[in-house]
Amino acid sequence: MSNQPPWKTSPKGGRPQNGSNRTSNDQRRSSSTQSHSRPSGSRSGSPQGRSGSSQGRSAAPQSRNPQARRPEQTRGQAPRPAPKKKPTRKKRKKKIAIFVVEMILLSLLLLILVAYNKIGFGRITHESIKIGDLDINELDSETKELLDGYTTIALFGIDNHDAGNFSNGRTDTIIIACINNDTKEVRLCSVYRDTYLNIGDGVYTKCNAAYQEGGPQQAISMLDNNMDLDITDYITVDFNAMVDIIDLLNGITLTITQEELEAMCGTHRVGTDEAGNPIYEQSENYLETVAEAAGQKPDYNLVAGTQNCSGVTAVAYCRVRYTSGDDYRRSERQREVIGQIIAKAKQSDADTLVKIINTVFGEIATSYSNMQLLTMASQFASYELVDSAGFPFYKNTKSVGKSGSCVIPCDLTDNVKHLHEFLYQDTSYTPTDTVEAISKEITNKTGYTRDDADDRLYGSVVPGADGAAVDPAAVPAAE
């Protein structure tokens, strides 16, 4: 330990053909003239030549009716075609309408193909999820009907420093994004990565281990199983994607405190000495690690206060953990940065958005198809971020065996009730028996019940439900 902030050091280095469909005169000519003497069902062949000689006419195929005779015609002459009926105005209008519809469909298809090639959807990693492979609780019909009115997506941010690998890794960010299909209102709920939950097969530990153990499929199942959700789709990004997006938006505005700045640069205060001077402890230098992963150099000219931040600075800000509020405040920072990105992207021109998509699509994995992504993108301007929160709402911290220091839901059943209230405005939700059983098991393993919730912990109150959140400066650090 030292009473001098070690982050005040010199920065490290960064790093058809068109074919004709025109019909020939011979092909358009009728094989025979209309005649009352021609028996029904006869069929005659058409002449093959236009010469006036006798060799110019080829023999007609035999009629199905042996008694039928061909009508008389002049040797060497092609049969006179039957007069065409002039199409009615109604038929002409119908043909025009069909043509217009076809042109519209072809134009739309062309636009999609152009967008596909220009935007570069082919670089996205698509990993479909089979619904039958997900562990979704048996929800009652009323709940299913309510949830059908929303699109709920799992957002994962992984930190495996292995670009392009989305099959596993630490999920430093776990966010439930809920979109009201009618109003387009969006609510974000962070799930604290150290939350003690059932990650699958009866294994209880920190929830961020689910993605590490079984990729997005197990991580989605973990959310559905513990929270009575019906999530079937996900989007995973690595931290390089966040850096690139923010840089292409020319930065976002953040207010950074002195404490956060120190932590971003690799130190955090752990107390004071006898003279009252702050004592610092070394920790991960987020500015350096994020910059190194992004192939950039960190900005060591940062000062505390409100400022426009680059992608490296903003992501380092997102990752800060050792400050007042601990991981709870970090989750809030992540939602804050996402909100800033959404707000600025909605104000950007089409060229900027295309550049963003071209740059970051190789850093994204999702269960959505390209067409689904196009549909979502077309509705982007109508989305409105209206609220954000952190889960669990009522919690405490405790060291649980080999899992180490965990965030304990107090209890899970009550937290799931409030989650459905926050996401879906369902004030009378009753959790399933599955959630009840998981909640009891968490209580058995940790000893914590609803009465053990520490209301001093940052963000312990349901937004808009029971009061205001606690001042982070008065919050004790997690164990």
Q: Give 324-376 pLDDT, tens digit per residue.
A: 667 788 888 888 998 898 888 888 887 887 788 777 777 788 888 877 877 78
Q: What is the mean pLDDT of the chain?
A: 75
Please tell me whether residues 474 and 373 are part of one structural domain.
yes
Please tell me whether residues 464 and 380 are part of one structural domain.
yes
Q: Give the residue-averaged pLDDT of 386-397.
A: 92
Angle, CA 119 vertex, CA 163 and CA 109 arms, to 5° = 140
Residue 206, in any domain of the structure: yes
Please tell me whether residues 95 and 169 are part of one structural domain.
no
**Residue 95 — very low, low, confident or very high, per pLDDT cuts 50/70/90?**
low
Q: What pLDDT, on a 0 to 100 scale, did the predictor assign at position 255?
A: 93
**Among candidate residues 130, 285, 103, the one with its CA nearest the CA of residue 220:** 130
Residue 420, in any domain of the structure: yes
**Among candidate residues 413, 104, 157, 384, the one with its CA nearest the CA of residue 293:** 157
Residue 103, in any domain of the structure: yes
Looking up residue 453, the CATH number of its domain turns out to be 3.30.420.590
Please tell me whether residues 157 and 240 are part of one structural domain.
yes
Residues 6+ apart with CB under 8 A from 142: none
Residue 456, in any domain of the structure: yes
Residue 26, in any domain of the structure: no
Residue 337, in any domain of the structure: no
Residues 6+ apart with CB under 8 A from 293: 161, 239, 240
Element containing residue 267 per DSSP (H, E): strand 267-272
Please tell me whether residues 111 and 202 are part of one structural domain.
no
Domain boundary among 77, 98, 119: 119
Residue 392, in any domain of the structure: yes
- The percent helix, strand, coil of the chain (3-state, each to 5) is 40, 20, 45
Tokens of 289: 């690690």
Please tell me whether residues 93 and 198 are part of one structural domain.
no
Q: What pLDDT, on a 0 to 100 scale, did the predictor assign at position 143?
A: 94
Please tell me whether residues 210 and 100 are part of one structural domain.
no
**Among candidate residues 55, 318, 346, the one with its CA nearest the CA of residue 186:** 346
Cβ atoms within 10 Å of 428's Cβ, excluding its own: 8
Please tell me whether residues 236 and 150 are part of one structural domain.
yes
Q: Give the residue-averaged pLDDT of 46-53.
A: 41
pTM exceeds cut of 0.95: no
Please tell me whether residues 200 and 113 are part of one structural domain.
no
**Residue 101 — very low, low, confident or very high, per pLDDT cuts 50/70/90?**
low
Residue 174, in any domain of the structure: yes
pLDDT digits (tens, 9 = 90+) for 189-229: 999 999 999 999 999 999 999 998 899 999 999 999 999 99
The top-scoring range by mean pLDDT among 78-82, 160-164, 242-246 is: 242-246
Please tell me whether residues 99 and 183 are part of one structural domain.
no
Cα dist from 310 to 252, 316, 329, whole Å: 7, 10, 21
pLDDT digits (tens, 9 = 90+) for 260-310: 898 888 886 767 778 878 777 787 888 998 898 888 988 888 899 999 999
Helix axes 286-294, 311-319, angle to 10 degrees: 130
Number of domains the chain is built from: 2
**Residue 463 — very low, low, confident or very high, per pLDDT cuts 50/70/90?**
low
Q: Does pLDDT of 164 surpass 60?
A: no
- Structural domain that includes position 192: 125-250+349-479
pLDDT digits (tens, 9 = 90+) for 57-82: 444 444 444 444 444 444 444 455 55
Please tell me whether residues 129 and 115 are part of one structural domain.
no
Domain boundary among 119, 143, 173: 119
Asked whether the beta carbons of 150 and 229 are under 8 A apart, the reply is no
Q: What pLDDT, on a 0 to 100 scale, did the predictor assign at position 359?
A: 79
